[in-house]
Amino acid sequence: MEIRPILSALRHNLTGALLIATQVALTLAIISNSASVIRERLAVSQRDSGVDAESRILTQRPILFSQIDLANLIQTDLDALRAIPGVESVTVTNQVPMGRSGWSSTFATERVPTAPNQSAGLYFDGGRLLETFGLKLVEGRGFRDDEIVNIDPKVQNPPPTGVLLTRRLAEALFPGQSQFVGRVFYQGNTPDSEELRVIGVIERFTTPWAQTGPGNEYAVVFPARYLNPFNHYVVRAAPGAEAQVRKAMEEALEKNEPGRVSNGQYSIQEMRDRRYRGERALAWLLVSVTVFLLGVTASGIVGMASLWVNLRRKQIGVRRALGATRGDIVRYFLTENLIITSAGIAVGVLAAWGLNGVLMSELSVPRLPLDYLLSGVLLMLLLGVVAVLGPALRAAKLSPALATRSV
Amino acid sequence: MLQMDGVQKIYRTDLVQTYALRSLSLRVAEGEFVAVTGPSGSGKTTFLNIAGLLETFEAGTYRLDGEDVSKLSDHARSRLRNVKIGFIFQSFNLIPDLNVYDNVDVPLRYRGMAGSERKRRITEALERVGLASRHQHLPSQLSGGQQQRVAIARALAGSPRILLADEPTGNLDSLMAREVMNMLEEINAQGTTIVMVTHDPELARRVHRNIHVMDGQVSDLDQRLAA
Amino acid sequence: MLGYYLQLGFRNLRRSPVLTALIILTLAVGVAASMSTLTVLYMMSGDPIPQKSSRLLTLKLDNYPLDFNDTDEKLPGILTWTDVRNLREDAKGLRRTGLYGISGIVYPNKEGVKNFFADGVAVDADFFAMMDAPFIAGGAWTAAEDRSEARVAVIAAPLAEKLFGKESAIGRNLRMDSEEFRVVGVLHDWKPTPKFYRMDGNSSAGSDADDIFIPLSTALAAHRDVSGNTSCYSNADPGFEGLMRSECIWLRYWVELGSEAERAEYRDYLSAYVQRQKQLGRLPRPDKSALYNVREWLQEIEVVDDDTRLQTWLAFGFLSVCLVNTIGLLLAKFTARTAEIGVRRALGATRSQIFLQYLSEAAALGLVGSIIGVAGAFGMLHLLAKQSPNLEQYARMDPTMLATTVLLSVLAAVIAGLLPTLRATQVVPALQLKSQ
């Protein structure tokens, strides 16, 4: 196709061409970076929590107020929950994955302050925690029922020493190792830190905060019931029994201690939705911005191309009179648009990288993957062609007889 | 070379239909230089549009260079215009964004000609109209007469069998008009058939034959049957 | 004359309606997106208490054990009870308060209202005067009640209505857990945005308004559990008594100075305090104590998070694309009217008259765009608030932002109109369109 004559024609419509190219460049820079943030956020929000069937694991946190004999009340509650038809397993714990608040502690392999330490979520297994959440063990064993102790915060208890930890935490504490059962580590890194011993390794178990960094899979599980009024009861409902279990759970807990205040009942799936609401909101905001931007840019191309077709009606007639086929006319406008879009894309690629650099240093946005940039380039080319097709087809329909009209 | 029989052209709007050509029949032989004359609104331009394959018509037949072109597709008509017909317009119709050289190049591009061949033809055509030195100029930098000479060069570069001219001197002063007319006669002398629409009796006298159009018909029986 | 131009401008909106609609839509979308995110940013970085934000100070102390291996992390903004008690007793500054989050079950003495869980704060009597918290009934408790660990409470208006309906809440009893509190004051709908006095960078701590305020001394005496972060870097004895004696940090401290000028003096006092504690064997590490006024504090805890900043960047990138687009579309709209401009010029319009006329037309477009844009911004804010509860407190349009929005979109349209208008003034006078 005739590139050079198109270029010299473009020189005479430079303002419009520059506007379109600028728009293409800005759009490409923004959407490719947005796409990479969208992917990152959605990927984060879909991370495996280690819980095998999130929608069937229900948790409720009734505040126990008759603070007399909490150990007994918890046991009564657990028995009542276990008796509900459709319940496969029940546990009591101090926090739940993605529940957004809970306990953490630091753990180290040496009792010296200079030793490296890892901050990890601290879970209490009031019995059957692995079974209820459906967590997988990759090494060692889970707790036996007789290992579960009651911890009363009002008195000093000897804490349990045999614990479970997640594989990620084990790998962070014991770099380069692959066997962890029997190893010793400490809660804290001071001389009086408690000594702990690994009895099992959990494949994956996310913390209540589900942090964005690797720490989201650092957790330690103690075999204990912590006797304060803020525990979570967790039940595992059989497939299909969720609704009925939800209702029965509410009723059973109310019956055991009438007038209790409950902070709501959630499945782990719902906890996930609440935890990642921000990530998803941002992702959807970016998606809608991207769609709008593409629409705006397309409208700009359509507007400018229509203008050029109108301004060149006569010229198009002359070209047709001189033997241009309809295809030639369409090709002319497509080529012209491709030249403009490509110029915009060339600048846009640089702008996308530049913007990404700034965003990375200022706002901890991920590095822009090359394939996202390439997809953005292809998308802009496609957008240009589709947007200009309408005006170009209209141009092709103009009659060659326009050439002989005087105005 | 050009043969029309009973060609009818109707312009329709929602309410009325107007006969632009009632039943036009005429012939132009190869090598002729013919002037088509007639008052405003007589159908001269419509005739030229149909002759130049710019418009279709409702009834009748039209043979161009021995080929029936009445029922050709838009694409085929474009090819024919490109190869066999050269146009010269009253308002020159040069493309303002392109320089002289590129303007002459336009029809050759659509023919898909090789670059060296195009260059030879463009240079030759521009030399023929005496504007070889101006090939870098934009149309706006040329006088009206020069612009029309570029348009002639553009029409000639493709070596058409027939040249259709629409009031070629209408926008020019008399000196330039004479110059352009001389050029057309020269081209005709070298064998190109020319059909020129004009209302200028001076010009009409200089050609081989006049065809007078009135109310969308050739008004003079002799002329209709001539050649 | 300007009236005539505007009138022409509005009439011309109807010409080339598709182009006009595109221009208005582009402007409106750009304005809605940028203004809604800017509003959130503005509310987040706003000064919640401008009249005295430079005189309200909070502080940080480094009480880590000597051999603590701290990475480069910031010191937490919470303190031990020991330090808060000492600072209160030293009584420097005009007013002062210690503070920690509490929660409990409220037992309404009312038909049809179930027991519920409420959040609150334990504060000193000065708190309300320091924060300029507005009362609709009653007032703060007295310093004497602080000292006597009185069971008194100040509650927020929504809670008062929930518990006591239209009746006055003053003097009525509020039962929280096993304790009865006498209501001495009801706060007007008080929602400092952000809730700076409790925020610590953990954004979920700062979203909801506090409903119940009780004396700090009373809360401590009742061993009321801490609702909020408690960090221990060395072992503590069991129980609440243990927590109070420990080096665990869990309270905040705010002081109000008589004037900004007293800050240097207070800084000296704080350094001296750290030295005194060192002599007592506490605060073993080098003195890293720091003072922050309200604005500095909001900066320190990074109220404006990266995502908000990202959204703002994005919105302005979006607005710039919309502007470029508007320039292009206006250029298209005006170029299509070259003939008209030529005729106007021929009829005697001067360049500046053409300039004003077409700029007015751009402004008219901007005005229509801004009305739709403002509606869009309200819609976007509503969506933002619904998407994220943490954002809800910020996603509110105030008059300043509303005016800014309207001004910005008209300005955007006028700026976008400049280039096309300048091009329009270059058209030469002519009574008819020259053929190309």
The answer to whether C359 and C417 are in contact (CB under 8 A) is yes
CA within 13 Å, CB half, C122: 29
Tell whether A30 and A63 lie within a shared domain. Answer: no
Find, among C46, C48, C53, the residue nearest to C401 by Cα: C46
Gap between the Cα atoms of A200 and A180, Å rounded:
8
**Count of CB contacts below 8 A, A vs B?**
89
- For chain C, the chains sharing at least 3 beta-carbon pairs closer than 8 angstroms are A
Q: Which residue is closest to A403 within chain B, CA to CA? A: B93
Q: Does the pLDDT value for residue B124 go beyond 60?
A: yes
Stronger pLDDT, B33 or A190, i.e. the higher one: B33
Nearest Cβ partner for B54 among A8, A327, A400: A400
Q: How far is A299 from chain B (nearest CA, A)?
A: 25
Q: pLDDT per residue over A36-88, tens digit each?
A: 989 988 999 999 999 999 999 999 988 766 667 888 989 999 999 999 999 99
CA distance A78 to A84: 10
Q: Are A42 and A60 members of one domain?
A: no
- C384 contact residues in A (CB cutoff 8 A): 281
Indicate whether A257 belongs to any domain.
Answer: no
| Minimum-distance CB partner of C68 among A65, A113, A303 | A113
Domain identity same for A195 and A309: no
Does a structural domain hold residue A144? yes
For B44, name the nearest residue in chain A, comparing CA atoms only: A404
Residue B103 touches partner A, C-beta closer than 8 Å: no
pLDDT at C389: 64
Which residues of A are less than 8 Å from C419 in CB distance? Answer: 15
Are A21 and A105 in the same domain?
Answer: no
Q: Decide if A404 and B54 are in contact by the 8 Å CB cutoff.
A: yes
Q: Is A125 exposed, middle or buried (0-12, 13-18, 19+ CB in 10 A)?
A: buried
Q: Cβ contact (<8 Å) for C318 and A292?
A: yes
d(CA A348, CA A375) in angstroms, rounded, equals: 13
Return mean pLDDT, chain A.
90
Give the pLDDT of residue C434. Answer: 43
pLDDT average, residue stretch A219-233: 92
pLDDT for B224: 45
Nearest chain C residue to A29 by CA: give it: C317
| Chains contacting B (3 or more CB pairs within 8 Å) | A
Q: Is residue A113 less than 8 Å (CB to CB) from chain C? A: yes
| Domain coordinates in residue numbering, chain C | 2-45+305-425, 56-300
Domain extents for chain B? 2-225
A324 at the C interface (CB within 8 A)?
A: no
**Do the Cβ atoms of A406 and B93 come within 8 Å?**
no
Chain A nearest CA to B58, separation (Å): 16
Residue A268 domain flag: no
Inter-chain CB proximity B81 and A314 less than 8 Å: no
CB contact (8 A) between residue A5 and residue B78? no
Instruction: Tell whether A226 and A319 lie within a shared domain.
Output: no
C372 contacts on A by Cβ (under 8 Å): none
Closest CA to A102 of A199, A220, A261, A10: A220
As a whole-number percent, the residues of chain A with pLDDT over 70 amount to 97
pLDDT of A143 reads 96
* Cross-chain residue pair A315–B91, CB shorter than 8 Å: no
| First-to-last C-alpha distance (Å) of chain C | 34
| A401/B54 Cβ within 8 A | yes
Q: How far is A200 from chain C (nearest CA, A)?
A: 27
Same domain, A304 and A218: no
A380 near C CB under 8 A: no
Out of C25, C204, C317, closest to residue A30 by CB: C317
Record: contact A324-B111, CB cut-off 8 A:
no
The answer to whether residue A381 neighbours chain B at the CB level (below 8 Å) is no
Q: How far is C418 from chain A (nearest CA, A)?
A: 13
Is the per-residue pLDDT at A281 higher than 70?
yes
DSSP 8-state class, residue C260 = G
List of chain C residues whose C-beta atoms are within 8 Å of the C-beta of residue A191 = none
Q: Is residue A67 part of a domain?
A: yes
Sign for the pseudo-dihedral over CA of A396, A397, A400, A405: negative
CA C112 to each of CA C107, C115, C162: distance values in angstroms, whole numbers, following the listed order: 12, 10, 11
In a domain, A270, yes or no: no
Q: How many domains does chain A have?
A: 2
Q: What does the alpha-carbon distance between residue B97 and residue B90 come to, in Å, rounded to a whole number? A: 19
| Chain A, nearest residue to C25 by Cα | A296
Question: CA end-to-end span of chain A, whole Å?
Answer: 29
Q: What is the pLDDT of residue C388?
A: 66
Q: Is A326 on the interface with B (CB under 8 A)?
A: yes
**Among C28, C68, C3, C424, CA closest to C249:** C68
- pLDDT for residue A64: 67
The answer on A75 and A42 residing in a single domain is no
CA distance A307 to chain B (A): 16
Q: Cβ C435–A406 below 8 Å, yes or no?
A: yes
pLDDT at B227: 43
Q: Which of A267, A275, A129 is nearest to A202 (CA)?
A: A129
Nearest to A404 among B48, B83, B97 (CB): B48
Q: Give yes or no for residue A339 having a pLDDT over 90.
A: yes
Integer Cα distance of A166 and A386 in angstroms: 52
Give pLDDT tens digits along chain C (436 positions).
Answer: 677 777 777 777 777 787 888 888 888 888 888 888 888 787 777 788 888 999 999 999 988 877 676 665 778 889 999 999 999 999 999 999 999 999 888 888 777 778 888 889 999 999 999 999 999 999 999 999 999 999 999 999 999 998 998 889 999 999 998 899 999 999 987 888 788 888 775 544 455 778 899 999 999 999 998 888 888 877 778 788 889 999 899 999 999 999 999 999 999 999 999 999 999 989 888 888 999 999 999 888 887 777 878 888 888 888 888 888 988 888 888 887 887 888 778 777 788 888 888 888 888 888 888 888 888 888 888 887 776 666 676 777 778 878 887 887 788 888 888 888 888 888 777 654 443 3
**What's the pLDDT tens digit per position in B44-66?**
888 999 999 988 898 999 999 98
Same domain, A64 and A161: yes
Are A351 and A285 in the same domain? yes
Q: Which domain holds residue A296?
A: 3-46+278-404
Peptide bond into C194 cis (omega under 30): yes
Of C265, C275, A318, A344, nearest in space to B93 by CA: A318
Chain-chain contact of C313 with A363 (C-beta, under 8 angstroms): yes
CATH architecture assignment, domain B2-225: 3-Layer(aba) Sandwich (3.40)
Note whether A296 contacts C115, CB cutoff 8 Å: no
Best B9, B109, B147, B148 residue to mutate vs chain A (most A CBs within 10 Å): B109
How close is the nearest chain A Cα to the Cα of B36, in Å? 15
**pLDDT tens per residue across span A248-270:** 999 998 888 877 887 789 999 99
CB contacts of C321 in chain A (<8 Å) are 23, 26-27, 30, 293, 296-297
Q: Given this model, what pLDDT does residue C432 score?
A: 47
d(CA A26, CA C316): 11
Select from A214, A238, A262 the last residue of a domain. Answer: A238
